[in-house]
Amino acid sequence: MPSTVKEGQPVRWDKVIRPRSGWFDLHLGELWRYRDLIALFVWRDFVAVYKQTILGPLWYVIQPLVTTAVFAVIFGQVAKLPTDGLPPFLFYLSGMVAWKYFADCLNSTSNTFVGNANIFGKVYFPRLTVPVSVVISNLVAFAIQLLLFLSLLVYYWATGSAVRSHLAVLLLPVLVLQMAALGLGFGLLVSSLTTRYRDLTHLVGFGVQLWMYASPVVYPSSSLPDKWRWMLVLNPMSPVIEAFRFAFLGAGSIDLHSWLISLAITSGVLLVGILSFCKVEKSVMDTV
């Protein structure tokens, strides 16, 4: 709407909506101006998921606990996979906490256009606010699961288990930011492609599951033969999980070279994801 206009002065508008003119015309500053909308979306996502459930947010705790217990039986007792001398339950839970935040961000943002077509077709707002709000709302679940992990870590400390934290725990904000950026980047890229190729919607969950087994979630990277090391270098989540486990449990190490490659891949994926998302959003209502 126009601001107050005096006679003889040109009309000045509070908000001007114009089409994007190029690949790098992203208008990312709008995300800050629409921060109240992002907060509303975060609250919506948090409430909607467990609104009509009996246990509510307790599912944030139950799911990783049950999954970790299954891993401890199958991979620890049956397959006898090594855990770098760590208690198996704590080893698998540390991998699950780190992996689940990344996977949730990817899965949740991969259907942004398809899942929000009704809203996008009615009113204007920066479309990036939706996937960004999803990443933030998943951070709540990550915080709850991290608290669960730390509680069990204290228990194992009290019982005399050979676990020790490292000063690398100070890197936790960087690791969380990288997981969020990587999940957001891949999610935006997949979301852009699903507007034309709906088959990708069915492949995402399956692909993420396979990706988990290609990451050191249920096994330490030290157990891999040298001929398969290249897989860990190309997998941007591998250094993140290893760094997370080293920081809190003291097992393994942080490979700076692999981590720098991981950061470079994360930055590239995020950039490509944002560019693809902003390019597609101009014509998305014609294809969704």
Summarised one tens digit per residue, pLDDT across range 92-128 is 999 999 999 999 999 989 888 777 777 876 777 788 8
CA distances from 197 to 20, 53, 116, 201 (A): 24, 33, 17, 8
In whole angstroms, what is the distance from residue 147 CA to residue 53 CA?
22
Burial 90-120 (b: 16+ CB within 10 A, else e): bbbbbbbbbbbbbbbbbbbbbbbbebbeeeb
Q: Which residue from 58, 108, 66 is spatially nearest to 208, judged by alpha carbons? A: 108
pLDDT of residue 71: 93
Q: Cα 237–89–212 angle (5° rounding)?
A: 25
3-state secondary structure of 72: helix
Phi-psi region of 184 (alpha: psi -120 to 50; beta: other; left: phi over 0): alpha
- Which residue blocks in the chain are alpha helix, DSSP H? 30-33, 35-50, 59-71, 88-109, 112-115, 117-120, 129-158, 172-194, 199-213, 229-234, 237-249, 256-280
pLDDT of residue 54: 61
CA distances from 177 to 183, 234, 278 (A): 10, 19, 21
pLDDT of residue 31: 78
Instruction: Identify whether the C-beta of residue 135 lies closer than 8 Å to the C-beta of residue 79.
Output: no
pLDDT of residue 149: 94
* Intra-chain end-to-end CA distance of the chain, in Å: 30
Instruction: Indicate if the alpha-carbon torsion angle 61, 62, 68, 73 is positive or negative.
Output: positive
Q: What is the pLDDT of residues 188-210, one digit of tens each?
A: 999 888 877 777 777 888 899 99
pLDDT of residue 202: 77
In whole angstroms, what is the distance from residue 140 CA to residue 144 CA?
6
In whole angstroms, what is the distance from residue 196 CA to residue 184 CA?
19
pLDDT of residue 259: 92
> Which residue positions in the chain have pLDDT lower than 70?
1-28, 49-56, 121, 282-288
Q: Which residue from 193, 227, 199, 231 is spatially nearest to 213, judged by alpha carbons? A: 231
Q: Whole-prediction pTM value?
A: 0.84
What type of residue is 272? V
Q: Which residue from 266, 33, 15 is spatially nearest to 129, judged by alpha carbons? A: 33
pLDDT of residue 18: 58
